[in-house]
Structure 1
């Protein structure tokens, strides 16, 4: 169980920009790993209205339940670690672990565990590399029939991280594209698909 401030900067990428950055960092096949995010909210989108997000993430060897809530300019991440077996059991029941930090935090937010449901899923192939200034992350994500590419940069300090991120984009001539977070992009794509199938 952990709680930490996530200082992260993001930028959407074109496919060519994504591939160019992989080449710059000499990415090899063994440097990638896959993860699945399964997102939860209430029927009336109470978490979204609180600018918060809740997910179970399946990793190659483990899983985690994470609640993201606003804190200043960034997000506070509250995480409970789980085994893959536990995570699959919760997902099968469209529910989450109650007796952890995330469950307690949701109770403080007046959100009942029994009101939560899975609202969608997203798969990401991720590349990470450490630099002196922080962690550079390149994501290729698929959700609701969509595919997108994203650069993330995780830092320890907001101002230093922002300076590095802006210089990084300028160095590689990448336009600033402030996209919505993954859960919002997934939900928009699902809503668009729903509108397209209606007569």
Structure 2
């Protein structure tokens, strides 16, 4: 289990911008991840700016709760590791883990694990690039309704260096930075939209 703080710049980008960046930058080999998102029927987590997911990779899995922590997009991410078989079993059962810091935190907020249910899902192909100021992430996310989007994120530990790199990057690729709904909100927005939209 772990708790990490994250601070980031992010924006949605176009497919053409994503392709140009992949051609110009030396990202590590891409990998896939499948996210299943949970909330109560009345979306208590979202109303409290919390995000709960089970994430499946090829050889491991995790349960993660994102919590807001201060201004400037600062988040805290609480993570409990799972095996792939545990995660698949939980997803099939429409439930979360019966142990770990996330379950304890939810109990402290009077959120009963039995009240949580899956409400959205998304599959992401992720490209990573380590830079001196932090980590650049380019995500291509697919939703069950057939829609997809591309998100560019710079998670940083050195704000001045990250700000300079981000400015240079968006200028070089002619990116118009725009506010971004988080993946949980985007996945929820893409649950009941037909592919014809």
TM-score (norm 2): 0.91
Distance 1:32 1:179 in 2: 22
Spell out, residue by residue over 1:25-84, the C-alpha distance to the aligned partner (whole angstroms, 9 max, x if none). Answer: 1457xx010000000000000001001100000011100000001100211100000100
1:146 equivalent in structure 2 = 147
Secondary structure (helix, strand or coil) at the match of 1:183 reads helix
Say whether the 8 Å CA contact 1:7–1:157 is kept in structure 2.
no
Q: Are the structure 2 counterparts of residues 167 and 184 from structure 1 closer, same or farther at C-alpha, using a change threshold of 3 Å?
A: same
Structure having the larger proportion of residues in helix: 1
Say whether the 8 Å CA contact 1:54–1:66 is kept in structure 2.
yes
Give unmatched runs, 5+ long, in structure 1.
none
Say whether the 8 Å CA contact 1:38–1:56 is kept in structure 2.
yes
Q: Are the structure 2 counterparts of residues 162 and 46 from structure 1 closer, same or farther at C-alpha, using a change threshold of 3 Å?
A: farther
Matches within 5 A, 1:166-177: 166-177=167-178
Deviates more, 1:87-96 or 1:149-158: 149-158
Spell out, residue by residue over 1:67-104, the C-alpha distance to the aligned partner (whole angstroms, 9 max, x if none). Answer: 00110021110000010011011111111112101111
1:121 equivalent in structure 2 = 121
Secondary structure (helix, strand or coil) at the match of 1:190 reads coil
Aligned Cα root-mean-square deviation (Å)? 1.6
1:105 equivalent in structure 2 = 105
TM-score (norm 1): 0.90
Secondary structure (helix, strand or coil) at the match of 1:89 reads helix
2:49 equivalent in structure 1 = 51
Distance 2:124 2:180 in 1: 16
